[in-house]
Each structure stands twice: as structure tokens, then as C-alpha cells.
Amino acid sequence: MKAFKTVLIVFFILSIAGISNAQSVYFKLGGGYGLGLSSQYLFDKSTVATTRDLQYGSFGQGIDLHAGVGYMICKNWGFELAGSFVLGNKFEENSVIGTVNYNSKHYANTISIMPAVVVSTQLAKEVDLYSRFGMTIAIPMKYEDITATGTGAPTGTMKWKESGGVALGINGAVGTKFILSKNFGIFTEIFGTAMSWGPSTLEVTEKYANDATVYPKITYEENWTPTAGDNKAPKPRYALSNFGLRVGVTYFIPTGPVK
């Protein structure tokens, strides 16, 4: 963890110090959709006791919003510091207990910072082919929203949230940049992220309307001596990996002659 922090700080200092000498500074804004790159078991979708219908997936799957700033040291090499927000896909589960029907939606939203190295080459006039590789530092939050309908038990909506901890991973992309003018361009790229995460806490953020139960905040641990009422549980691990397609616009600020 300390090593990743050190790399990020050094990258930031170099970015600030090098902008004045960069051949081209750029800003970009885009979005896309990521599919699950790796998966884990989530739940059993079957509503019949005699059958099984297992749901697998990655909480990194979902809508990807992306923004970044970078500079090209020369025509072929550069650095980039980007950020993203993944609005996670909702995995839906239905179950029946007694006379109550439960609909649960499992999903995660993730904010990430991604420092990376960029390698670019000219594919044709006003068209560049590039690749990017770096690390990902993310703050995810996982949710479960449960809607209960029926009689004989608390009904309404109940919400759980898992949070805390930082997810570390790697990311990369291969794309094409189309230069429309001196200052504007568009890009399209295939991106991927490899990452997992272990939250620190679990808490109820909303209870059923007629539920008088007091739900304590649960702390996740990997090593501890269990005692009665300690409100601790084993730390889970969630897959956040994805790959997908992203498109966007780029604004260039030339700062010197391109070598």
C-alpha cells in the first residue's frame, strides 16, 4: 500500500513539474460500458427448492464515466492521470419465504484514480493508435436493496451498504484517436481493469417500515478472536474486474514543437 502511495505522489509531482515542458497537454472526457472480466458466485436464482440456478458476475460491470488529464513528452510517449466512476450493474434476485416475496438487487459503485503511461504512434494522417497501462486506486461501495411484499413479516424496503478499504489493481487500454482540429479530437478504446476488494464494514441504511429490529454495524476482520456481541464477521472479497468499450472527446493544448 505504501509503495502504491509513493508511486502516485511521484507521478503527480512529475505531472505538475513537466506540464510546462510537455509537447502537448490534453484533457479528455468520455464514457462507455464494461462487462465482467472475472466473476464470482453471487447467489442462487432458483425459486424452487429442488433445483439450482447459480448467478455469477463481477461488481465491476456497468456504466463507465471517465475523465482525465495528460501530457505527451514527445510524439510517442506521455503520462496520464484519469478518474472514473462505475455505476454498477444491478444483479437481481427473487425469493419467497412463507407468504413474503423478496426482490433483492446487488450492485456496487466505484470511484477510481488511474495514473498510467501512454504510448502512441501515427496510424494515418490525423489518426493515432495508442496504448495505455497503469494502476488503479479505487474506493468502491457495495449495496443490497431488498423489497419485501406480502403478509406475516416486515415489508417495504431494506438497504444494506458495505464500504471502507481501498481496492488496488491494474488497468490498460488500446485505442484510436482521431484529430479533428488543432485543439479537438475524438477517441474510441477497448479498456480493461483487473481488481478485487474487501470492504471494512456492513451497515443497514434503511429498514422495513414496520421493522423494530436494531441492526448493529458489522466490522469485517481477517484475524480476530470471536466473542459474544463483538459484531464482527469474516471479510469478504468481491470481483471488480471489467473490460469494455469507451468513447469520448479530447481537448489539446500544444505547448511546444512536437518532436
Say if residue 53's pLDDT is above 90.
no
Of 82, 170, 181, 165, residue with least CA distance to 126: 181
Strands 201-206 and 62-72: unpaired
Q: Global pTM?
A: 0.84
Lowest mean pLDDT of 174-178, 190-194, 210-214, 249-253, name the range. Answer: 210-214
What are the grid coordinates assigned to 61, written together? 460491470
**Domain ranges (residues) in the chain:** 2-254
- Measured distance CA(190)–CA(246) in Å, rounded: 6
8 Å CB contact between 30 and 64: no
Confidence bin at 18 (pLDDT 50/70/90)? very low
- Which DSSP letter does residue 20 get? G
Residue with grid cell 469520448, as numbered in its chain: 248
pLDDT at 19: 47
Higher-scoring residue by pLDDT: 60, 11: 60
Task: Give me the mean pLDDT over the 158-173 stretch.
Answer: 97
Task: Give me the mean pLDDT over the 118-143 stretch.
Answer: 96
Cβ neighbors of 227 (< 8 A, separation 6 or more) are: none
pLDDT at 259: 44
Of 104, 118, 37, 35, residue with least CA distance to 70: 118
Report the CATH number of the 2-254 domain: 2.40.160.20
- Which DSSP letter does residue 21 get? G
Q: Which pLDDT tens digit goes with each residue over 189-237?
A: 999 999 999 999 999 999 998 888 999 999 999 998 888 889 999 999 9
Provide the β-strand partners of residue 239: 196
pLDDT at 152: 81
Burial of 8: CB neighbours in 10 Å, binned 0-12, 13-18, 19+: middle
Residue with grid cell 466512476, as numbered in its chain: 85
Say if residue 134's pLDDT is above 50.
yes
What are the grid coordinates assigned to 257, written together? 514543437
Provide the β-strand partners of residue 133: 117, 172
One-letter amino acid at 231 equals N
How many CB atoms lie under 10 A from the CB of residue 156?
A: 14
Lowest mean pLDDT of 67-76, 108-117, 193-202, name the range. Answer: 67-76
